[in-house]
């Protein structure tokens, strides 16, 4: 072994394994697709409080996945080491909305496909997925459920209010009832007759009804 062999390193041999043009093109496309995923996520978000950080994460995740796959496809040995390194990573961030999982997998899949050079598949596939999500997620159900929170001073006023609610809604079901001294609180799940919410105003005209609140309900939260 010569003196030069001691300081010889294979590190610089991998510099040209991925061309500059491929890197720039792949990352630019990943950024564009990531922005599109971010746009679809923002338009289809139905949670209580929107967090822009998750949308930015989708853009970054698309680009990072593309970067990793570019490195893996350029070196077989590196790919084995990358698999071993990623297998010990644990993510413990709670996913509040099941739809967020779809966006995470979409960003990862788009990054993988772009790095593999399948640009038409990534672009056309992302466009179709985005269109389907925009069409179905933002579609409002025909009979949206609502919650009526009723506060009465006793059983007599509660009975009158119950009859009034059932006669002015398509469907009505008692979800909970809380009785205290001098007050009765009842929560109803109702289906409205179209978009008519005027019946709530009539509830307060019933003697003994202290307050009536109408809130929308999607099964996960109230707003």
pLDDT at 3: 47
Give CA separation, 98 vs 29, 36, 95, in Å: 27, 20, 7
Average pLDDT along the chain, 223 residues, taken 10 residues at a time: 49 61 88 94 78 86 88 65 58 70 90 88 93 81 77 86 86 87 87 78 85 74 42
Residues 15 and 50 both lie in one domain:
yes
Q: What is the reported pLDDT for 176? A: 87
Provide the domain limits for residue 96: 3-137
Residues 17 and 85 in one domain: yes
Asked whether residue 221 is domain-assigned, the answer is no
CATH of the domain at 168: 3.30.70.260
**Any domain includes 46:** yes
Name the domain boundary from 116, 137, 158. 137
**72 and 161, same domain (yes or no):** no
119 and 194 belong to one structural domain: no
Final residue belonging to a domain, choices 110, 137, 164: 137
pLDDT attached to residue 18: 67
Note whether 15 and 108 are same-domain residues. Answer: yes
How many domains, in total, are found in the chain? 2
Give the per-residue pLDDT at 130.
Answer: 92
Are 66 and 171 in the same domain?
no
How much is the pLDDT for 7? Answer: 46
């Amino acid at each position: 072994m010569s003196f030069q062999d001691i300081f010889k390193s294979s590190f610089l041999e991998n510099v040209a394994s991925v061309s500059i043009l491929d890197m720039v093109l792949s990352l630019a496309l990943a950024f564009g697709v990531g922005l599109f995923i971010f746009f679809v996520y923002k338009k289809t978000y139905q949670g209580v409080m929107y967090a822009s950080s998750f949308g930015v994460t989708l853009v970054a995740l698309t680009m990072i996945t593309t970067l990793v796959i570019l490195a893996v496809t350029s070196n077989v040995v590196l790919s084995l080491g990358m698999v071993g390194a990623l297998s010990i990573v644990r993510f413990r961030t709670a996913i509040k909305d099941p739809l967020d999982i779809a966006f995470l997998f979409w960003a990862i899949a788009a990054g993988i496909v772009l790095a593999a050079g399948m640009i038409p598949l990534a672009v056309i596939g992302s466009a179709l997925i985005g269109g389907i999500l925009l069409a179905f997620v933002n579609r409002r159900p025909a009979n949206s459920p609502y919650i009526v929170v009723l506060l009465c001073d006793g059983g007599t006023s509660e009975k009158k209010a119950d009859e009034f609610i059932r006669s002015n809604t398509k469907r009505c079901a008692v979800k909970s009832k809380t009785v205290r001294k001098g007050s009765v609180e009842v929560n109803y799940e109702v289906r409205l007759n179209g978009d008519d919410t005027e019946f709530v105003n009539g509830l307060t005209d019933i003697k003994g009804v202290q307050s009536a609140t109408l809130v929308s309900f999607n099964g996960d939260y109230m707003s």
